[in-house]
């Protein structure tokens, strides 16, 4: 998930924790606690992404692919991060330190804010198709949520509106509340968000704002925000399951002899009916990757009517298959050749600890679940004749161990 979304959700949950605790005896102490809990939860919601500093441990793109969402995104390593963040807040914030010494509610709130922030980061990163491996070093298995777009406006609106209305000055509240619809309008006009989604988000923002206005000192708007976020995730999870079923059924109808190994899904922002997919099939000797998109309700929303910026590739419907599933391209590879190349090339073997949809030829390797942009595909690894083995390759599980067999 992007860091703006991490921050907005972290601030919203921090505010909810603050409002759920008893008021401090002195207004100054209550104000300090308010700032402390929001700061702690927002920082904890972003802290694991400090692993970006480790991306220089290996040459591009391996450094980013192997070390971002790496050790700092595991349950075991959340604890030392929480202790480090607590130590920084304790050392650098004298008023907070004095408050924590005297107030049990503040200590409890800080513990909740840190735990919520770190777990939110891991949970939100799980929800998209990039994946996490939270149980390392006990298990290096990747887990892919495939249910929420990496930048999700529902979270911005649900948590951003009550946060904006809690701003200390009326002018600041008006500015913050005006910025959000302008941003939503901008991304809608540029084809990343549908007009129906835009209208639904504006209606959601209005409902949250009305509740926040009527209950200026209550938790109801924030609880509504949390409920909306959880309900949205539930809807997306159900839609993701149905989208995977639809793509799998279409692929089986297209080629009954092939075995569908995996379908990676990318949600569209604030639109549960539209999905992009990358699939991989194999008959044991060859494997095939396909890219495309679909609508879960093609009679209501044809797949070609999904937001244009995310369906830019030319696509055609697979003949005789499930309605609404469009394919924009395919790629074929040889299983034996992939295994042999991975066993002989240490850079490729390291790259395969990340790649879920590997397209590998003589010159390069790319993970096709990520689209090619004007800057190229950020996962693309140029294959050298005599590769230099990267240093400190983490032991993440290979997402395509079903193809690679015993290659490690």
* Digit-coded pLDDT (tens) for 331-362: 999 999 999 999 999 999 999 999 999 999 99
CA distance linking residue 323 with residue 317, whole number of Å? 8
CA distance linking residue 263 with residue 357, whole number of Å? 9
Average pLDDT of the residues in 187-201: 93
User: How many domains is the chain built from?
Assistant: 1
- Asked whether residue 379 is assigned to any structural domain, the reply reads no
Average pLDDT of the residues in 251-277: 92
Name the nearest CA neighbour of 251 among 284, 298, 289.
289
Average pLDDT of the residues in 20-29: 93
Q: Given a cut of 80, is residue 364 above it in pLDDT?
A: yes
- Asked whether residue 251 is assigned to any structural domain, the reply reads no
CA distance linking residue 244 with residue 264, whole number of Å? 8
SS3 of residue 330 by DSSP: strand
- Asked whether residue 26 is assigned to any structural domain, the reply reads yes
Q: Given a cut of 90, is residue 256 above it in pLDDT?
A: no
pLDDT band at 209 (very low <50, low <70, confident <90, very high): confident
Q: Given a cut of 90, is residue 371 above it in pLDDT?
A: no
**Within 10 Å of residue 363's Cβ, how many Cβ atoms?**
9
pTM to 2 decimal places: 0.93
Q: Given a cut of 70, is residue 284 above it in pLDDT?
A: yes
Q: Given a cut of 70, is residue 312 above it in pLDDT?
A: no
- Asked whether residue 50 is assigned to any structural domain, the reply reads yes
- Asked whether residue 246 is assigned to any structural domain, the reply reads no
Q: For the CA atoms of the chain, what is the radius of gyration?
A: 23
Q: Given a cut of 80, is residue 320 above it in pLDDT?
A: no
**Within 10 Å of residue 327's Cβ, how many Cβ atoms?**
22
Question: What is the domain extent for residue 133?
Answer: 3-236
Count of residues in the chain: 408
Average pLDDT taken over every residue of the chain: 91
pLDDT band at 54 (very low <50, low <70, confident <90, very high): confident
CA distance linking residue 79 with residue 260, whole number of Å? 38
- Asked whether residue 340 is assigned to any structural domain, the reply reads no
Q: Given a cut of 70, is residue 221 above it in pLDDT?
A: yes
The predicted-structure confidence for 32-52, as pLDDT tens digits, reads as follows 999 999 999 999 999 999 999
Element (H, E) at 147: none
CA distance linking residue 226 with residue 163, whole number of Å? 13
- Asked whether residue 257 is assigned to any structural domain, the reply reads no
Q: Given a cut of 90, is residue 321 above it in pLDDT?
A: no
Sign of CA dihedral 185, 190, 191, 192: negative
- Asked whether residue 181 is assigned to any structural domain, the reply reads yes
CA distance linking residue 298 with residue 282, whole number of Å? 28
pLDDT band at 322 (very low <50, low <70, confident <90, very high): confident
């Amino acid at each position: 998930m992007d860091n703006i979304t991490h921050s907005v959700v972290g601030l919203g949950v921090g505010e909810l924790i603050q409002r759920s605790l008893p008021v401090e005896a002195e207004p100054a102490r209550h104000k300090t606690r308010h700032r402390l809990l929001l700061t702690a939860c927002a920082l904890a919601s972003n802290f694991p992404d400090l692993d970006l500093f480790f991306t220089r441990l290996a040459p591009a793109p391996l450094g980013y692919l192997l070390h971002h969402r790496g050790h700092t995104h595991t349950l075991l390593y959340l604890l030392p991060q929480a202790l480090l963040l607590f130590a920084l807040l304790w050392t650098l914030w004298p008023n907070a330190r004095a408050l924590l010494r005297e107030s049990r509610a503040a200590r409890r709130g800080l513990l909740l804010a840190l735990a919520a922030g770190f777990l939110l980061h891991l949970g939100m990163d799980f929800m998209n198709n990039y994946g996490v491996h939270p149980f390392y070093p006990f298990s290096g298995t990747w887990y892919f949520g495939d249910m929420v777009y990496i930048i999700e406006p529902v979270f911005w609106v649900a948590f951003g509106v009550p946060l904006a209305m809690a701003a200390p000055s009326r002018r600041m509240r008006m500015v913050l509340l005006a910025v959000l619809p302008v941003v939503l309008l901008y991304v809608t006009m540029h084809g990343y968000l549908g007009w129906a989604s835009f209208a639904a988000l504006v209606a959601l923002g209005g409902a949250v704002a009305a509740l926040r206005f009527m209950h200026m000192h209550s938790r109801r708007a924030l609880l509504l925000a949390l409920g909306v976020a959880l309900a949205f995730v539930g809807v997306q999870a159900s839609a993701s399951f149905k989208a995977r079923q639809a793509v799998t059924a279409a692929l089986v109808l297209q080629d009954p002899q092939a075995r569908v190994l995996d379908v990676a899904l990318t949600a569209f922002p604030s639109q549960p009916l539209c999905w992009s997919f990358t699939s991989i099939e194999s008959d044991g000797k060859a494997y095939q990757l396909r890219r495309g998109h679909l609508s879960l309700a093609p009679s209501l929303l044809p797949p070609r009517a999904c937001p244009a910026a995310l369906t830019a590739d030319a696509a055609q419907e697979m003949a005789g298959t499930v309605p609404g599933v469009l394919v924009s391209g395919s790629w074929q590879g040889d299983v034996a050749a992939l295994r042999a190349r991975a066993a002989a090339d240490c850079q490729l073997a390291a790259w395969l600890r990340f790649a879920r949809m590997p397209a590998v030829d003589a010159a390069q390797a790319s993970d096709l679940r990520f689209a090619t942009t004007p800057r190229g595909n950020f996962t693309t690894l140029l294959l050298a004749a005599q590769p230099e083995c990267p240093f400190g390759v983490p032991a993440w599980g290979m997402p395509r161990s079903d193809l690679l067999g015993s290659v490690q």
